[in-house]
Amino acid sequence: MAEPIRQPSPVLGIRLTRVGDVLVVGVSGELDMDTVPEVRATVLSGLSETPSALVLDLSDVVFFSSSGLSLLLDARGRVDTFAVVATRRAVLRPIELTTVASLLAVFPTVDEALAWVSSSESVHQSE
């Protein structure tokens, strides 16, 4: 029996951009066990170009499962400087209710995350 061709999820949108040397991955829709592998693959693909930092923009995520928390921890372990953008309760509440919150830098806007990333990079370069 032939394997079905993997189609992009209709409940997930991913956009990959660069701001200077920072990789920004924007996610919209639902992050669950079915969609996280696609986001993880996109992040890994972007990280292959060795950006100085990663910003994961989850401001348009409407559903966020424990698989999403796993994605955040995995991404955090792959780069020195990592920021998360989250504004919706669906994302913020699981982060706040777990010990994951103490491990992440979470911001309400991409601009604030990029400013923090820039200041963190300056600290790393001077060390």
* Domain ranges within the chain, ordered by starting residue: 12-118
Among left, alpha and beta (phi > 0; psi -120 to 50; other), residue 110 is alpha
Residues 6+ apart with CB under 8 A from 51: 18, 21, 22, 23, 79
Closest by Cα among 20, 85, 73, 15 to 45: 15
Using 50, 70 and 90 to split pLDDT, how confident is the model at 6? Answer: very low
Mean pLDDT of 52-78: 96
Task: State residue 112's pLDDT score.
Answer: 97
- Model confidence pLDDT, tens digit, residues 23-39: 999 999 999 999 999 99
- Model confidence pLDDT, tens digit, residues 36-49: 999 999 999 999 99
Its CATH architecture, for the domain 12-118, is: 2-Layer Sandwich (3.30)
Contact (Cβ atoms closer than 8 angstroms) between residue 50 and residue 84: no
